[in-house]
Amino acid sequence: MTGKIIIDIEKCKGCGLCVMACPKGQIVISEKSNKKGYFPAKFKASDNCSGCAMCAIICPDAAIKVYKNCSTTKANNAQTANSTKGKA
C-alpha cells in the first residue's frame, strides 16, 4: 500500500511530532520558514509512505492530510484546491 501526505506549511509550527511518529522516516523539518517564522515539516515525497496516518493523528495543528492508494495527480489537485480557497 502506498500513500502520500500533504502538509499545510502555514498551519505547521514545526514541533517535530510527525517526524518522530512516521515509521518510514518520510518526514523531515524544512530548512525554509513559513510566514510565521516556523520551520514546518516537509514530506520527502517518496514511494515509501504507507499511508498509515500516524503523522496526521499526532499533529496538534491538524496540518497533515493523508491520501492512501491514490495517484500523485489526485493529491496534487487536492493541494491546489486547498491553497486557492478563499482567493478571488
Give the model's pLDDT for residue 10: 97
Residue 49 contacts residue 43 (beta carbons within 8 Å): yes
Express each pLDDT in 30-82 by its tens digit: 999 999 999 999 999 878 899 999 999 999 999 999 998 855 545 555 554 55
- Hey, what CATH class is 3-78 in? alpha beta
Give the model's pLDDT for residue 80: 47
The torsion defined by the Cα of 75, 68, 22 and 55, in degrees rounded to 10, comes to: 70
Give the model's pLDDT for residue 30: 97
pTM of the model: 0.75
Q: Residue ranges of the alpha helices (H) in the chain?
A: 17-21, 54-58, 72-83
Per-residue confidence at 83, pLDDT binned at 50, 70, 90?
Answer: low
